[in-house]
Chains A and B, each alone.
Chain A
Amino acid sequence: MLPEAAHHHPAGLAHQFDNLEQQKEAATLGMWAFLTTEILFFGGLFMVYTVYRSSYPDAFAAASHELVVWAGTVNTAVLITSSLTMALAVHAAQLGQRRLLIVFLLLTMALGCVFLGIKAFEYYTEFVERHIPGLNYDFEPKYFRNAQLFFSLYFLMTGLHALHMIIGLGIMAFMLWWSVRGVITAEYYIPIEISGLYWHFVDIVWIFLFPLLYLIGRHAH
Protein backbone atom coordinates (compact mmCIF):
# COMPACT_ATOMS: atom_id res chain seq x y z
CA MET A 1 0.00 0.00 0.00
CA LEU A 2 1.25 3.42 -1.00
CA PRO A 3 0.81 6.17 1.55
CA GLU A 4 -2.00 8.57 0.61
CA ALA A 5 0.36 11.47 0.26
CA ALA A 6 2.54 9.68 -2.30
CA HIS A 7 1.02 11.66 -5.15
CA HIS A 8 -1.60 14.34 -5.71
CA HIS A 9 -4.92 12.61 -6.30
CA PRO A 10 -7.82 14.76 -7.55
CA ALA A 11 -11.29 13.79 -6.30
CA GLY A 12 -12.93 11.43 -8.75
CA LEU A 13 -9.71 10.25 -10.42
CA ALA A 14 -9.54 6.47 -10.58
CA HIS A 15 -6.17 4.86 -9.82
CA GLN A 16 -5.55 3.41 -13.28
CA PHE A 17 -5.45 6.84 -14.94
CA ASP A 18 -2.60 9.33 -15.01
CA ASN A 19 -4.90 12.35 -14.89
CA LEU A 20 -8.50 13.49 -15.30
CA GLU A 21 -7.96 14.28 -18.98
CA GLN A 22 -6.97 10.71 -19.74
CA GLN A 23 -9.85 9.44 -17.64
CA LYS A 24 -12.33 11.61 -19.55
CA GLU A 25 -10.96 10.36 -22.87
CA ALA A 26 -11.37 6.74 -21.77
CA ALA A 27 -14.89 7.36 -20.41
CA THR A 28 -15.99 9.13 -23.60
CA LEU A 29 -14.56 6.35 -25.74
CA GLY A 30 -16.23 3.67 -23.62
CA MET A 31 -19.59 5.43 -23.81
CA TRP A 32 -19.35 5.77 -27.57
CA ALA A 33 -18.46 2.09 -27.87
CA PHE A 34 -21.68 1.35 -25.98
CA LEU A 35 -23.66 3.83 -28.10
CA THR A 36 -22.34 2.06 -31.21
CA THR A 37 -24.06 -1.12 -30.03
CA GLU A 38 -27.19 0.97 -29.46
CA ILE A 39 -26.98 2.38 -33.01
CA LEU A 40 -26.96 -1.18 -34.37
CA PHE A 41 -29.66 -2.30 -31.91
CA PHE A 42 -32.11 0.35 -33.09
CA GLY A 43 -30.66 0.09 -36.61
CA GLY A 44 -31.91 -3.50 -36.86
CA LEU A 45 -35.43 -2.33 -36.00
CA PHE A 46 -35.26 0.48 -38.55
CA MET A 47 -34.13 -2.17 -41.03
CA VAL A 48 -37.23 -4.30 -40.35
CA TYR A 49 -39.37 -1.18 -40.67
CA THR A 50 -37.80 -0.31 -44.05
CA VAL A 51 -38.30 -3.81 -45.46
CA TYR A 52 -41.98 -4.01 -44.46
CA ARG A 53 -42.76 -0.44 -45.42
CA SER A 54 -41.32 -1.02 -48.89
CA SER A 55 -43.43 -4.19 -49.13
CA TYR A 56 -46.72 -2.64 -47.92
CA PRO A 57 -46.46 1.15 -48.45
CA ASP A 58 -50.24 1.75 -48.59
CA ALA A 59 -51.00 -0.18 -45.41
CA PHE A 60 -48.17 1.62 -43.60
CA ALA A 61 -49.43 5.03 -44.75
CA ALA A 62 -53.00 4.19 -43.68
CA ALA A 63 -51.84 2.94 -40.26
CA SER A 64 -49.47 5.89 -39.75
CA HIS A 65 -52.38 8.24 -40.45
CA GLU A 66 -54.14 6.85 -37.36
CA LEU A 67 -51.40 8.03 -34.96
CA VAL A 68 -51.89 11.24 -32.95
CA VAL A 69 -49.66 13.53 -35.00
CA TRP A 70 -49.88 16.58 -32.69
CA ALA A 71 -48.74 14.43 -29.75
CA GLY A 72 -45.74 13.15 -31.70
CA THR A 73 -44.85 16.69 -32.79
CA VAL A 74 -45.13 18.12 -29.28
CA ASN A 75 -43.05 15.23 -27.95
CA THR A 76 -40.35 15.93 -30.54
CA ALA A 77 -40.19 19.53 -29.35
CA VAL A 78 -40.16 18.38 -25.71
CA LEU A 79 -37.23 16.00 -26.31
CA ILE A 80 -35.21 18.56 -28.28
CA THR A 81 -35.77 21.06 -25.46
CA SER A 82 -34.63 18.43 -22.94
CA SER A 83 -31.47 17.97 -25.00
CA LEU A 84 -30.87 21.72 -24.75
CA THR A 85 -31.30 21.69 -20.95
CA MET A 86 -29.01 18.63 -20.80
CA ALA A 87 -26.32 20.45 -22.81
CA LEU A 88 -26.72 23.45 -20.49
CA ALA A 89 -26.43 21.14 -17.47
CA VAL A 90 -23.07 19.89 -18.78
CA HIS A 91 -22.05 23.51 -19.38
CA ALA A 92 -22.97 24.44 -15.80
CA ALA A 93 -21.06 21.40 -14.51
CA GLN A 94 -17.96 22.40 -16.48
CA LEU A 95 -18.05 25.82 -14.84
CA GLY A 96 -18.71 24.37 -11.38
CA GLN A 97 -22.07 26.18 -11.11
CA ARG A 98 -23.72 23.65 -8.83
CA ARG A 99 -27.05 25.42 -8.36
CA LEU A 100 -27.49 25.92 -12.13
CA LEU A 101 -26.46 22.31 -12.76
CA ILE A 102 -29.16 21.08 -10.36
CA VAL A 103 -31.78 23.34 -12.00
CA PHE A 104 -30.95 22.08 -15.50
CA LEU A 105 -30.89 18.43 -14.39
CA LEU A 106 -34.33 18.90 -12.81
CA LEU A 107 -35.62 20.60 -15.99
CA THR A 108 -34.25 17.75 -18.12
CA MET A 109 -35.97 15.18 -15.90
CA ALA A 110 -39.23 17.17 -15.90
CA LEU A 111 -39.22 17.30 -19.72
CA GLY A 112 -38.48 13.56 -19.82
CA CYS A 113 -41.53 12.97 -17.62
CA VAL A 114 -43.68 15.19 -19.87
CA PHE A 115 -42.56 13.09 -22.84
CA LEU A 116 -43.50 9.84 -21.09
CA GLY A 117 -46.84 11.34 -19.99
CA ILE A 118 -47.75 12.28 -23.56
CA LYS A 119 -46.56 8.84 -24.71
CA ALA A 120 -48.85 7.19 -22.13
CA PHE A 121 -51.76 9.32 -23.39
CA GLU A 122 -50.99 8.13 -26.94
CA TYR A 123 -50.86 4.47 -25.90
CA TYR A 124 -54.20 4.94 -24.16
CA THR A 125 -55.64 6.49 -27.36
CA GLU A 126 -54.34 3.55 -29.42
CA PHE A 127 -55.97 1.18 -26.93
CA VAL A 128 -59.33 2.98 -27.20
CA GLU A 129 -59.10 2.99 -31.00
CA ARG A 130 -58.23 -0.73 -30.99
CA HIS A 131 -54.82 -0.46 -32.61
CA ILE A 132 -52.91 -2.84 -30.35
CA PRO A 133 -52.04 -6.11 -32.13
CA GLY A 134 -52.75 -9.20 -30.06
CA LEU A 135 -54.84 -7.30 -27.54
CA ASN A 136 -57.87 -5.66 -29.13
CA TYR A 137 -56.75 -5.08 -32.71
CA ASP A 138 -59.16 -3.97 -35.40
CA PHE A 139 -58.61 -2.06 -38.64
CA GLU A 140 -60.28 -1.38 -41.99
CA PRO A 141 -60.52 -4.72 -43.85
CA LYS A 142 -58.40 -3.62 -46.83
CA TYR A 143 -55.29 -3.17 -44.66
CA PHE A 144 -56.28 -5.36 -41.71
CA ARG A 145 -53.35 -7.78 -41.92
CA ASN A 146 -50.50 -5.52 -43.03
CA ALA A 147 -51.35 -2.55 -40.81
CA GLN A 148 -50.70 -4.93 -37.89
CA LEU A 149 -47.05 -4.99 -38.95
CA PHE A 150 -46.93 -1.20 -38.68
CA PHE A 151 -48.55 -1.13 -35.25
CA SER A 152 -46.37 -3.98 -33.96
CA LEU A 153 -43.27 -2.04 -35.04
CA TYR A 154 -44.74 1.18 -33.65
CA PHE A 155 -45.22 -0.30 -30.18
CA LEU A 156 -41.92 -2.20 -30.24
CA MET A 157 -39.83 0.81 -31.33
CA THR A 158 -41.55 3.50 -29.25
CA GLY A 159 -41.74 1.07 -26.31
CA LEU A 160 -37.99 0.40 -26.42
CA HIS A 161 -37.40 4.12 -26.82
CA ALA A 162 -39.61 4.82 -23.78
CA LEU A 163 -37.66 2.19 -21.83
CA HIS A 164 -34.47 4.08 -22.70
CA MET A 165 -36.13 7.29 -21.48
CA ILE A 166 -36.99 5.63 -18.16
CA ILE A 167 -33.41 4.38 -17.77
CA GLY A 168 -32.24 7.90 -18.67
CA LEU A 169 -34.43 9.35 -15.91
CA GLY A 170 -32.83 6.90 -13.48
CA ILE A 171 -29.35 8.00 -14.57
CA MET A 172 -30.37 11.66 -14.21
CA ALA A 173 -31.75 11.01 -10.72
CA PHE A 174 -28.38 9.53 -9.81
CA MET A 175 -26.55 12.53 -11.31
CA LEU A 176 -28.86 14.85 -9.38
CA TRP A 177 -27.96 13.05 -6.15
CA TRP A 178 -24.24 13.39 -6.93
CA SER A 179 -24.66 17.06 -7.81
CA VAL A 180 -26.51 17.81 -4.57
CA ARG A 181 -23.87 15.95 -2.56
CA GLY A 182 -21.10 17.93 -4.25
CA VAL A 183 -19.41 14.97 -5.94
CA ILE A 184 -19.63 16.86 -9.25
CA THR A 185 -17.12 19.69 -9.51
CA ALA A 186 -15.67 21.80 -12.33
CA GLU A 187 -12.70 19.43 -12.24
CA TYR A 188 -14.75 16.22 -12.10
CA TYR A 189 -17.78 16.79 -14.34
CA ILE A 190 -17.22 13.64 -16.45
CA PRO A 191 -20.30 11.76 -15.12
CA ILE A 192 -22.60 14.58 -16.28
CA GLU A 193 -20.96 14.66 -19.72
CA ILE A 194 -21.26 10.88 -20.16
CA SER A 195 -24.88 10.81 -18.93
CA GLY A 196 -25.55 13.60 -21.41
CA LEU A 197 -24.21 11.46 -24.25
CA TYR A 198 -26.82 8.83 -23.37
CA TRP A 199 -29.63 11.38 -23.13
CA HIS A 200 -28.76 12.96 -26.49
CA PHE A 201 -28.55 9.53 -28.13
CA VAL A 202 -32.09 8.71 -27.01
CA ASP A 203 -33.14 12.07 -28.49
CA ILE A 204 -31.52 11.13 -31.83
CA VAL A 205 -33.45 7.83 -31.94
CA TRP A 206 -36.68 9.83 -31.57
CA ILE A 207 -35.55 12.28 -34.30
CA PHE A 208 -35.72 9.30 -36.69
CA LEU A 209 -38.76 7.58 -35.15
CA PHE A 210 -40.96 10.68 -35.40
CA PRO A 211 -41.02 11.24 -39.20
CA LEU A 212 -40.90 7.51 -40.01
CA LEU A 213 -43.82 6.57 -37.75
CA TYR A 214 -46.03 9.67 -37.61
CA LEU A 215 -45.58 11.52 -40.87
CA ILE A 216 -45.61 8.96 -43.71
CA GLY A 217 -49.39 8.99 -44.20
CA ARG A 218 -50.15 12.67 -43.65
CA HIS A 219 -50.81 13.75 -47.24
CA ALA A 220 -52.22 10.47 -48.54
CA HIS A 221 -55.46 10.00 -46.60
Chain B
Amino acid sequence: MPTNHILPTRVYYTIFAILMLCTFATVLIAFFDLGPLNAIAALTIAVFKAVLVVLFFMHVRYSTRLTWAVVAGGVFWLGILLALTLSDYLTRSWQTFG
Protein backbone atom coordinates (compact mmCIF):
# COMPACT_ATOMS: atom_id res chain seq x y z
CA MET B 1 0.00 0.00 0.00
CA PRO B 2 1.70 3.21 -1.12
CA THR B 3 1.82 5.73 1.70
CA ASN B 4 1.71 8.81 -0.49
CA HIS B 5 -1.33 7.78 -2.48
CA ILE B 6 -2.32 11.03 -4.19
CA LEU B 7 -5.90 11.28 -5.40
CA PRO B 8 -6.88 13.50 -8.33
CA THR B 9 -8.69 16.61 -7.05
CA ARG B 10 -11.84 15.76 -9.05
CA VAL B 11 -12.48 13.01 -6.44
CA TYR B 12 -12.70 15.69 -3.73
CA TYR B 13 -14.91 17.97 -5.83
CA THR B 14 -17.24 15.05 -6.66
CA ILE B 15 -17.57 14.04 -2.99
CA PHE B 16 -18.17 17.69 -2.09
CA ALA B 17 -20.99 17.95 -4.66
CA ILE B 18 -22.64 14.75 -3.36
CA LEU B 19 -22.38 15.99 0.26
CA MET B 20 -24.03 19.30 -0.70
CA LEU B 21 -26.83 17.52 -2.60
CA CYS B 22 -27.41 15.26 0.42
CA THR B 23 -27.64 18.30 2.71
CA PHE B 24 -30.22 19.86 0.39
CA ALA B 25 -32.17 16.58 0.29
CA THR B 26 -32.18 16.16 4.07
CA VAL B 27 -33.52 19.71 4.59
CA LEU B 28 -36.16 19.26 1.87
CA ILE B 29 -37.39 15.92 3.25
CA ALA B 30 -37.69 17.40 6.76
CA PHE B 31 -40.45 19.77 5.59
CA PHE B 32 -42.73 16.88 4.59
CA ASP B 33 -44.56 14.77 7.16
CA LEU B 34 -43.52 11.19 6.48
CA GLY B 35 -44.17 9.85 9.98
CA PRO B 36 -41.35 7.63 11.27
CA LEU B 37 -39.75 7.75 7.80
CA ASN B 38 -38.54 11.33 8.56
CA ALA B 39 -36.09 10.12 11.20
CA ILE B 40 -35.05 7.11 9.12
CA ALA B 41 -34.39 9.26 6.04
CA ALA B 42 -32.45 11.89 8.05
CA LEU B 43 -30.22 9.26 9.70
CA THR B 44 -29.69 7.28 6.49
CA ILE B 45 -28.52 10.41 4.67
CA ALA B 46 -26.31 11.41 7.64
CA VAL B 47 -24.67 7.96 7.76
CA PHE B 48 -24.14 8.04 3.98
CA LYS B 49 -22.48 11.49 4.23
CA ALA B 50 -20.28 10.36 7.14
CA VAL B 51 -19.15 7.26 5.22
CA LEU B 52 -18.19 9.40 2.21
CA VAL B 53 -16.16 11.76 4.43
CA VAL B 54 -14.41 8.85 6.18
CA LEU B 55 -13.61 6.91 3.00
CA PHE B 56 -12.48 9.76 0.74
CA PHE B 57 -11.71 12.96 2.69
CA MET B 58 -10.08 10.96 5.50
CA HIS B 59 -8.48 8.52 3.02
CA VAL B 60 -9.57 5.40 4.92
CA ARG B 61 -10.43 3.74 1.57
CA TYR B 62 -6.71 3.90 0.81
CA SER B 63 -5.43 3.06 4.30
CA THR B 64 -3.94 -0.14 5.62
CA ARG B 65 -6.05 -2.97 7.03
CA LEU B 66 -4.94 -2.11 10.54
CA THR B 67 -6.43 1.39 10.18
CA TRP B 68 -9.60 -0.15 8.75
CA ALA B 69 -9.82 -2.42 11.80
CA VAL B 70 -9.46 0.49 14.25
CA VAL B 71 -12.11 2.56 12.43
CA ALA B 72 -14.50 -0.40 12.26
CA GLY B 73 -13.78 -1.11 15.93
CA GLY B 74 -14.80 2.44 16.89
CA VAL B 75 -18.09 2.13 15.01
CA PHE B 76 -18.68 -1.34 16.43
CA TRP B 77 -18.23 -0.13 20.00
CA LEU B 78 -20.60 2.76 19.29
CA GLY B 79 -23.06 0.09 18.12
CA ILE B 80 -22.66 -1.74 21.44
CA LEU B 81 -23.29 1.51 23.33
CA LEU B 82 -26.46 2.27 21.36
CA ALA B 83 -27.83 -1.29 21.12
CA LEU B 84 -27.42 -2.30 24.76
CA THR B 85 -28.72 1.02 26.12
CA LEU B 86 -31.75 1.01 23.81
CA SER B 87 -32.47 -2.64 24.58
CA ASP B 88 -33.15 -1.39 28.10
CA TYR B 89 -34.93 1.92 27.50
CA LEU B 90 -37.09 0.87 24.56
CA THR B 91 -38.39 -2.22 26.34
CA ARG B 92 -39.21 -0.72 29.76
CA SER B 93 -42.83 -0.03 28.84
CA TRP B 94 -43.46 -3.53 27.47
CA GLN B 95 -46.32 -5.32 29.18
CA THR B 96 -45.81 -8.68 30.86
CA PHE B 97 -48.65 -11.16 30.69
CA GLY B 98 -49.57 -14.23 32.69
Contacts and interface: CB of A to CB of B under 8 A. Distances in A.
B61 to A, nearest CB: 13
Interface string B14-45: 01100110010011001111100011001101
A43 B57 contact: no
Given A94-B6, A219-B34, 8 more contacts: A25-B3, A36-B73, A40-B74, A51-B86, A83-B19, A84-B13, A193-B59, A207-B49
B82 A80 contact: no
13 contacts: A36-B77, A40-B77, A44-B81, A69-B27, A80-B16, A83-B57, A84-B15, A91-B7, A94-B4, A95-B6, A200-B58, A216-B30, A218-B30
Contacts of A215: 26-27, 30, 42
Contact of A219 (B16, B38, B53, B73): B38
Contact of A203 (B4, B13, B53, B73): B53
Interface in A108-165: none
Interface residues of A, number: 52
B89 interface: yes
A54 B89 contact: yes
Nearest to A83: B57
Interface of A: 20-21, 24-25, 28-29, 32-33, 35-36, 39-40, 43-44, 46-47, 50-51, 54, 69, 73, 76-77, 80-81, 83-84, 86-88, 91, 94-95, 186, 189, 193, 196-197, 200-201, 203-204, 207-208, 210-212, 215-216, 218-220
Contacts of B64: 25
B66 A24 contact: no
Interface class of chain B by DSSP: helix
A54 B3 contact: no
A35 B74 CA distance: 8
Contacts, number: 131
Chain A CB within 10 A, most for which of B20, B34, B53: B53
A80 B74 contact: no
Contact of A39 (B16, B20, B78, B85): B78
B33 A219 contact: yes
A215 B34 CA distance: 13
A207 B86 contact: no
A173 B20 CA distance: 27
A46 B47 CA distance: 14
Nearest to B59: A193
Contacts of A86: 57
A88 B9 contact: yes
A33 B82 CA distance: 20
B53 A83 contact: yes
B78 A208 contact: no
Contacts of B89: 51, 54
